[in-house]
Amino acid sequence: MYNPYENVLKVMDEAVKVGGLSTDTYEMIRNPQRELKVYLPIRMDDGKIKVFEGYRVQHSNIRGPFKGGIRYSSFTDLNEVKALATWMSLKCAVANIPYGGAKGGITVDPTELSKGELMRLTRRYTFAIESIIGPDTDIPAPDVNTNAQTMAWVLDTYSMLKGKPSPGVVTGKPLELGGSKGRTAATGQGVVISTKLILEACGETLADTRIAVQGFGNVGSYAAKIAYEHGATIVALSDVSDAIYCEDGIDVSDVFAYVEAGNLLKDYKKDGIKHISNAELLTCTCDVLIPAAIENQITEENANELRCRYIVEAANGPTTEEADEILEKRKIVVIPDIFANSGGVIVSYFEWVQNIQTLTWSEKQIKEMLREIMAAAFEDIRQEVEKSACTWRIGAYIVALRRLITANEVKGLFP
């Protein structure tokens, strides 16, 4: 069975070896600092009480407060959250923003809950983890199946418990409550920035590129829309219900509006649009494949069938370590999640800085600063890839782990 935490450990071990990194404190990074499991009793709309399981894993705060999203999914368990928390530490280290890594989750299918039930669940979860989160300790954000509304509930519950408004306790919150301009689109924006950076480094342009995007949630929808606005041809898209394909390119603005109005792709009908399976989307002919759904999508089962030249990982952990080996042999360039989807947490950082200083920045400023941070991180990875003659994933891991290990060594071990 696929184990995301084992997967991340294997890649980290390999990076430490390839990068010749110091191993004295590495064992500390192979383990999280804290795992919290909570049981959440909720009064359901039918009057019955149901108990849900929730988690918060704090992987590392060596480089700054713990940071990372909260996801609601029936597949979520402690092991997944542990892997996701570790990826957050690596992601913040690659971007070189002053955060550690954490992740939270509740094992629940949110589509089965009413809005009221979701609100009660979110508030109870916040209450249960209240003692370990805070604007200078651990800052949650949205992730799979959570959004600005979820963050508003977390913020309100936390602020009520503390008896004062605490906007800096979460990021990705609504603008009205101290959210940042540009945060909703930020992860997708960052995915397009990373796609452009790798294409340009290889002498290509986004406008001449054919792209397939798996997943049409917050990340995939904005990545597809922004790439489309930059002139890329989007040949395939998918959501939970179905996948669509069009050789000549999909009108993404139209699909975006269609899905935003509450529709599913399975019902989308337009001339030239073919309905295909999710497996067919992953293996369709394109230049760039953007997996923007969940983990474990590109595996040893389908890695040999892919017909793209680049993979830009918008989701966390979409590619298994076994698939990576096949892709490397096939010379398919993989831009890893810990860089490719870092736009979300980078703009979260901007949101938090604005909250702490009671400032408001324009969308233009946010976009420029995001581009700057991502370009610098890309250059750090590129140099490492050149120096160590390794894949982009290993290069990114080396950059991240070197920063974490150095911070640990300078700090020394308590007591």
67, 82, 91, 103: the catalytic one is 103
Site for ligand GLU in 185-204 (CB under 6 A): none
Q: Please select the residue that binds ligand GLU; options are 68, 182, 217, 291, rule is CB under 6 A.
A: 68
**Cβ at position 140, least distance to ligand GLU in Å:** 7
The CA-based dihedral angle spanning residues 291, 70, 98, 345, taken in that order and rounded to the nearest 10 degrees: 40
Q: Please select the residue that binds ligand GLU; options are 232, 345, 373, 400, rule is CB under 6 A.
A: 345
Are 138 and 130 in contact, with CB atoms under 8 Å apart? no
Number of neighbouring beta carbons within 10 Å of residue 196: 22
Tokens matching residue 295: 């983990």
Which amino acid type is present at position 258?
A: Y
Tokens matching residue 293: 């759904």
Contacts of 168 (CB under 8 A, 6+ apart): 135, 136, 139, 178, 352, 355, 356
**Cβ at position 144, least distance to ligand GLU in Å:** 8
Q: Which stretch binds ligand GLU (CB under 6 A): 33-41, 42-50, 64-72, 121-129?
A: 64-72
Are 320 and 299 in contact, with CB atoms under 8 Å apart? yes
> Which residue's CB is nearer to ligand GLU, number 88 or number 237?
88
Name the DSSP class of 60: E
Site for ligand GLU in 348-367 (CB under 6 A): 348
Q: Which stretch binds ligand GLU (CB under 6 A): 17-25, 75-83, 340-348, 380-388?
A: 340-348
Contacts of 114 (CB under 8 A, 6+ apart): 45
> Which residue's CB is nearer to ligand GLU, number 138 or number 384?
138
Tokens matching residue 288: 């760039």
> Which residue's CB is nearer to ligand GLU, number 169 or number 303?
169
Q: Please select the residue that binds ligand GLU; options are 67, 173, 196, 309, rule is CB under 6 A.
A: 67
Site for ligand GLU in 129-158 (CB under 6 A): 141, 143
- Assess 401 for contact with ligand GLU (CB under 6 A): no
Residue 274: enclosing H or E segment and its boundaries?
strand 274-276
Number of neighbouring beta carbons within 10 Å of residue 130: 15
Site for ligand GLU in 155-174 (CB under 6 A): 171-172
Q: Which stretch binds ligand GLU (CB under 6 A): 44-52, 67-75, 154-162, 328-336?
A: 67-75
- What is the tally of helices (H) and strands (E) in the chain? 14, 12
Q: Please select the residue that binds ligand GLU; options are 4, 54, 217, 344, rule is CB under 6 A.
A: 344
Least Cα distance to 108 among 97, 96, 100, 120 occurs for: 120
**Cβ at position 413, least distance to ligand GLU in Å:** 27
φ/ψ (deg, to 5) at 381: -70, -45
| CA dist., res. 393 & res. 94, Å (int) | 11
> Which residue's CB is nearer to ligand GLU, number 54 or number 68?
68
Q: Which stretch binds ligand GLU (CB under 6 A): 61-69, 292-300, 318-326, 399-407?
A: 61-69
Query: Which residue number places its CB atom closest to ligand GLU?
Result: 69
Q: Is position 103 annotated as part of the catalytic site?
A: yes
Contact residues: ligand GLU, CB under 6 A: 67-69, 91, 141, 143, 171-172, 316, 341, 344-345, 348
Active site residues: 103
